[in-house]
Amino acid sequence: MEENVPAGRCVVAVDGPSGSGKSTVSRRLAVSLGARYLDTGAMYRALTWAVLRSGVELSDTESVAKVAGEAELRIGTDPQGYAVTVDGTDVSTDIRGAGVTAAVSAVSAVAAVRELLVARQRRVIADAGRIVVEGRDIGSVVAPDADLKVFLTASAAARARRRSAEDAADVTATAADLARRDRLDSTRAVNPLQQAPDAVELDTTELGIDEVVDRLRQLLTERGVA
């Protein structure tokens, strides 16, 4: 993989559903570019952890928004190792648990939560200069002026295999959970999971991580920004 890193501003938006390879690809690409990395999904998961800890009902959107607004969220942007903390507690591992995974789509659907985090994500992008940002609405909402917008996809079977391997979970159960999250994330009223009109769609089903990263580097080079 080419590692010649030029100077200058560069914003890459990587969107797609769970299991499409967003996180691994985005971190590898950020390292390759000498850029920062922002996992917006981890931000939503962190606030979901805070909501679950508070004990408020997920259906009580006002209370959910209140907890989210009061939580002190910090997230690193080092692609080779970063921590996520809420009110001083490191939740980097806890936010990947089954409880948070089951609840994050509901918390992410609350308009006030999305407004809060989108504003913060935009500030991080503005301050970073060179950054790879991954999520579900980056190219369409958070960074519509990104130098490169990519929408990663993969077959349902491939996504389920990848995610179940990460979580040591049953493939069938994982496939059902991914389908549930896809449905919730794609149909929410505010900033749903969707491909930006000018995003490049890349199917990763048969591609290795390095192949995907090389393809994105090629696209950036064609645009004159990497």
If you average pLDDT over every residue of the chain, what do you get?
Answer: 90
Specify the DSSP class assigned to residue 127. Answer: H
108 phi/psi in degrees, rounded to 5: -65, -20
Q: Quote the pLDDT of residue 177.
A: 77
Identify which of 152-166, 193-207, 209-223 has the greatest average pLDDT.
209-223
What global pTM score does this model have? 0.86
Contact 49, 95 (CB under 8 A): yes
Handedness of CA 21, 135, 91, 183 (dihedral sign): negative
Encode burial over 186-207: b for 16+ CB neighbours within 10 A, e otherwise: eebeebebbbbeebeebebeeb
Decide if pLDDT at 51 tops 90.
yes
More confident residue, 171 or 86: 86
State the architecture of 10-220 in CATH terms. Answer: 3-Layer(aba) Sandwich (3.40)
Every domain of the chain and the residues it spans: 10-220
Q: Quote the pLDDT of residue 7.
A: 57
Contact 150, 199 (CB under 8 A): yes
Cα 19 to chain centroid distance, Å, stands at 11
